Structure 1
Amino acid sequence: MPDVMRELSGVPVLVCDPAGPPLATMEDALDLIGAAFLGAEVVAVPASRLDGHFFSLGTRFAGEVMQKFVNHRLRLAVVGDISRHLAASSALRALVHESNLGEHVWFLPDLDALDARLAAAG
């Protein structure tokens, strides 16, 4: 399945294909941002597509990717199970917690949770 535009709770979302290419570089992130300019307000990226160094905060990759999305006025939703990464890093747990309190970057278990979050944000 290719990346597809869907509407969740009235919000246009670019839902990325779990089998798509990994998000491993800033170029990869910018490609997703470019694809989102076809009308998306949110980009839902499966956690499985994120390169392992995204979850290693010392690389700064996660922060750079998140900042690019914010700068382009796009919300980023990392969708899927990241429990093994959370178990390995208290700093990542803190980042996920703080991000989920905000409006721009969310870490959610599935698309149903994203739909509920968008509905609540209204």
Structure 2
Amino acid sequence: MTDVLEQRAGVSVLVCDPAGPTVTTIQDALDLVGAAFLGAKAVAVPAGRLDESFYRLRTGFAGEVMQKFVNYNVRLAVIGDIAAHLASSSALRALVEESNRGRHVWFLPDLDALDARLAALA
């Protein structure tokens, strides 16, 4: 499977292939934003495609990636189980809780949860 543009809850979403390249640099994140400009309003990235440094907040990588998506007005949904990361970082837990209250960056268990979130915005 490759990254695919899908209509989900009436919103164009770039659904990223779990087997795709790992997002390890800001340029990798910008490449996803650029791919979204082909018609997507959101990007659903499997949690496993994000480099481990994303989940270690002291690196600053998560903040930089999230800021790129916000700056370009493209929603970012991190899809999948990140429980192991949450268990080892209260700061990450706080970031996830805060992000999930907003409208731009979400951490969700699966695409069904993304559909529900997008439908609630309509």
**TM class by smaller structure:** over 0.9
Q: Deviations over 1:8-53 (max 9, x none)?
A: 1100000000000000100100110110000000000000100000
Q: After TM superposition, what 4+ stretches of structure 1 lie above 6 angstroms from structure 2?
A: none
> Which residue of structure 1 lines up, in the alignment, with residue 76 of structure 2?
76
> Which residue of structure 1 lines up, in the alignment, with residue 119 of structure 2?
119
Q: CA offset at residue 83 of structure 1?
A: 0.2
Give secondary structure in 2 for the equivalent of 1:19.
Answer: coil
Look up the equivalent residue of 1:19 and give its one-letter code: A
Q: Is 1:3 paired with 2:3?
A: yes
The separation in 2 between residues aligned to 1:89 and 1:105, in whole angstroms, is 19
Q: Mind listing any 5+ residue stretches in structure 1 that lack a counterpart?
A: none
Look up the equivalent residue of 1:120 and give its one-letter code: A
> Which residue of structure 1 lines up, in the alignment, with residue 61 of structure 2?
61
TM, length-normalised to structure 1: 0.99
Give secondary structure in 1 for the equivalent of 2:81.
Answer: coil
TM, length-normalised to structure 2: 0.99
> Which residue of structure 1 lines up, in the alignment, with residue 95 of structure 2?
95
Q: CA offset at residue 121 of structure 1?
A: 1.2
> Which residue of structure 2 lines up, in the alignment, with residue 51 of structure 1?
51
Q: CA RMSD, aligned part only?
A: 0.4
Q: CA offset at residue 109 of structure 1?
A: 0.2
The separation in 2 between residues aligned to 1:98 and 1:29, in whole angstroms, is 21
The separation in 1 between residues aligned to 2:30 and 2:105, in whole angstroms, is 16
Q: CA offset at residue 73 of structure 1?
A: 0.6
The number of residues matched between the two structures is 122
The sequence identity of aligned pairs, in percent, is 72
> Which residue of structure 2 lines up, in the alignment, with residue 14 of structure 1?
14
> Which residue of structure 2 lines up, in the alignment, with residue 24 of structure 1?
24
Look up the equivalent residue of 1:10 and give its one-letter code: G
Give secondary structure in 2 for the equivalent of 1:13.
Answer: strand
